[in-house]
């Protein structure tokens, strides 16, 4: 806890103790920092004996008003207002922190005292799947595009989101054929909502376009943003950490607007590589399932160790993300060498990622062979040869297996 956070905590504790001690000399005030300056507050006092929750909240707010604070605003992340009897009966840790979805915050957070079991089901819609790679050049965006193609042809309504705002790629993977061109994208939405969160909002319809496909299916794209002179300025202004200090988080509002407008079955997010804040949010705050793309090299395993460690801690706190591992591209070497790489990969995953007892390591990793023909495609969503798509089918199968079967919903009208 830094000096500023300590000062706020002491001020809160002193103010509450000063007022409550007069009525209950045995009052207990407990404060613990979560992340990014947020605080957990627990007040245990006999003063609450004849009050309901609303009355307790108002009572504490009246005390905190003297220092210009209130319970439902920053810095309070969560609170418990209890009588001594209620506190005694409550066996849960009142201060179990949640994993804030930024690399440094997750690594600094303590291990949870009551971790969520690893066999927790994630079947719901929309299912959010993030494709992440620690290093670039491993075919992450290509894999996402092909998997999106496969899922859409199966009758799913799929939205692809380009969160790689510093080096966009998904936005350029389709041919000119689309039912409508999205004028804006992820960066534009987040930038405007960060500037005017309670005023004019960029309509989500202006940020999404539908990809025309030669087969049945619904495939949509939310590009990184409008490629104009102001793109770099918007990128430089973006402060992901600030989002998590606000009452309305633009990241969360983005997903809410997508659900309300498009109602997709599956959202596929193309995350930024490396230890970036936007990449962390895509993997640790947004994703139910993470597809970790990598090549089986010493450098990749060194970076992956940090990624998997952070994902493991976040899953213990919140129950997600679950992970699958995608080896791509596998070079055309001798089968004996490929077998050696695969055996090493399986051993590494088993050593670093906790799996339910019903799952074996071979169920959660997939290999994609190098295919030079991919570079000749003008679009990853037109009539892609079956031979190119085939290695990606197991990844699509894994995603489909996580999605609950719900009733079909009519697609939105994307016409201007």
pLDDT, residue 162, reads 95
User: By CB neighbour count within 10 A (0-12 exposed, 13-18 middle, 19+ buried), where does 89 fall?
Assistant: exposed
Overall domain count for the chain: 2
Measured torsion, CA atoms of residues 339, 341, 342, 347, in degrees rounded to the nearest 10: 120
Asked if residue 118 belongs to a domain, the reply is no
Asked if residue 197 belongs to a domain, the reply is yes
Of 51, 71, 95, which closes a domain? 95
Residues 205 and 56 in one domain: no
- For the segment 186-204, the average pLDDT, to the nearest whole number, is 84
Residues 204 and 59 in one domain: no
CA gap 206, 200 in Å, rounded = 14
Over the stretch 271-313, which tens digit does the pLDDT of each residue have?
999 999 999 999 999 899 999 999 888 888 888 999 999 999 8
Which comes out higher in pLDDT, residue 105 or 267? 267
Residues 30 and 77 in one domain: yes
Which comes out higher in pLDDT, residue 369 or 93? 369
Q: Helix, strand, coil proportions of the chain in percent (round to 5)?
A: 45, 15, 40
Per the document, the length of the chain is: 416
Over the stretch 124-143, which tens digit does the pLDDT of each residue have?
789 999 999 998 889 999 99
pLDDT, residue 130, reads 98
- pLDDT higher than 50, residue 416: no
Over the stretch 234-251, which tens digit does the pLDDT of each residue have?
999 999 988 887 878 899
Ordered DSSP codes for 103-126 = HHHHHHSPPPSSPPPTT-----SS
Q: What is the CATH number of the domain that holds 313?
A: 3.40.50.300
* Joined tokens for residue 352: 């670093």
pLDDT, residue 101, reads 83
Of 54, 75, 95, which closes a domain? 95
Residues 212 and 358 in one domain: yes
Could you tell me the pLDDT band of residue 397, with boundaries at 50, 70 and 90? very high
Q: Over the chain, what is the mean pLDDT?
A: 86
Residues 82 and 134 in one domain: no
Q: Domain range spanning residue 42?
A: 3-95
Q: How many CB atoms lie within 10 A of CB 135?
A: 16
Q: How many CB atoms lie within 10 A of CB 72?
A: 9
Asked if residue 178 belongs to a domain, the reply is yes
Lowest mean pLDDT among 34-43, 347-356, 396-405: 34-43
Asked if residue 114 belongs to a domain, the reply is no
Tokens 């606000």 belong to residue: 246
Asked if residue 372 belongs to a domain, the reply is yes
Which value, in Å, is the radius of gyration of the alpha carbons in the chain? 24
Give the up-direction half-sphere exposure of residue 341: CA atoms within 13 A in the CB hemisphere: 25
Ordered DSSP codes for 180-203 = S--S--HHHHHHHHHH-TTS----
Residues 208 and 341 in one domain: yes
Beta strands (DSSP E) in 230-310 are: 266-270, 289-294
Residues 91 and 131 in one domain: no
Asked if residue 317 belongs to a domain, the reply is yes
Query: What are the φ and ψ backbone dihedral angles of 9, each rounded to 5 degrees?
Result: -60, -45
User: Does the reported pTM lie above 0.85?
Assistant: no
Give the up-direction half-sphere exposure of residue 49: CA atoms within 13 A in the CB hemisphere: 8
- pLDDT higher than 60, residue 412: no
- pLDDT higher than 70, residue 6: no
| Beta pairing, strands 76-82 & 127-132 | unpaired
């Amino acid at each position: 806890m830094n000096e500023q956070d300590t000062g706020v905590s002491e001020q809160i504790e002193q103010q509450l103790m000063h007022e409550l001690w007069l009525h209950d000399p045995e009052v207990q005030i407990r404060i613990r920092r979560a992340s990014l300056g947020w605080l957990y507050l627990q007040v245990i006092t006999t003063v609450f004996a004849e009050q309901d929750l609303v009355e307790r909240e108002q009572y504490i707010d009246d005390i905190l008003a003297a220092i210009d604070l209130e319970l439902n605003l920053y810095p309070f992340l969560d609170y418990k207002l209890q009588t001594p009897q209620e506190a005694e009966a409550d066996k849960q840790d009142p201060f179990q922190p949640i994993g804030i979805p930024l690399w440094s915050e997750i690594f600094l957070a303590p291990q949870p005292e009551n971790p969520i079991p690893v066999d927790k089901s994630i079947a719901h819609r929309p299912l959010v799947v993030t494709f992440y790679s620690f290093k670039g050049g491993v075919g992450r965006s290509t894999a996402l595009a092909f998997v999106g193609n496969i899922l859409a042809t199966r009758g799913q309504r799929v939205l692809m989101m380009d969160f790689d705002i510093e080096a966009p790629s998904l936005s350029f993977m389709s041919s000119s054929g689309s039912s409508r061109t999205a004028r804006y994208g992820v960066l534009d939405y987040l930038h405007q909502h960060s500037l005017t969160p309670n005023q004019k909002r960029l309509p989500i319809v202006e940020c999404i376009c539908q990809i025309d496909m030669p087969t049945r299916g619904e495939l949509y794209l939310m590009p990184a943003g409008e490629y104009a002179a102001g793109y770099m300025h918007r990128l430089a202004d973006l402060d992901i950490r600030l989002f998590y200090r606000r009452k309305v988080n633009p990241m969360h509002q983005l997903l809410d607007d997508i659900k309300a407008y498009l109602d997709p079955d599956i959202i596929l997010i193309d995350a930024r590589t490396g230890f970036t804040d936007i990449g962390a949010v895509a993997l640790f705050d947004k994703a139910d399932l993470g597809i970790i793309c990598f090549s089986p090299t010493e450098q990749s395993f060194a970076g992956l160790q940090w990624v998997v460690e952070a994902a493991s801690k976040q899953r213990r706190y919140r129950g997600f993300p679950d992970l699958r591992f995608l080896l791509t591209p596998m070079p055309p070497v001798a089968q004996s060498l490929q077998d050696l790489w695969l055996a090493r990969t399986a051993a590494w995953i088993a050593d670093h990622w906790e799996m339910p007892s019903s799952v074996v390591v071979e169920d959660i990793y997939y290999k994609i062979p190098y295919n030079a023909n991919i570079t000749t495609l003008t679009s990853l969503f037109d009539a892609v040869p079956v031979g190119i798509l085939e290695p990606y089918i197991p990844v699509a199968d894994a995603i489909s297996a996580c999605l609950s079967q719900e009733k079909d919903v009519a697609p939105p009208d994307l016409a201007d």
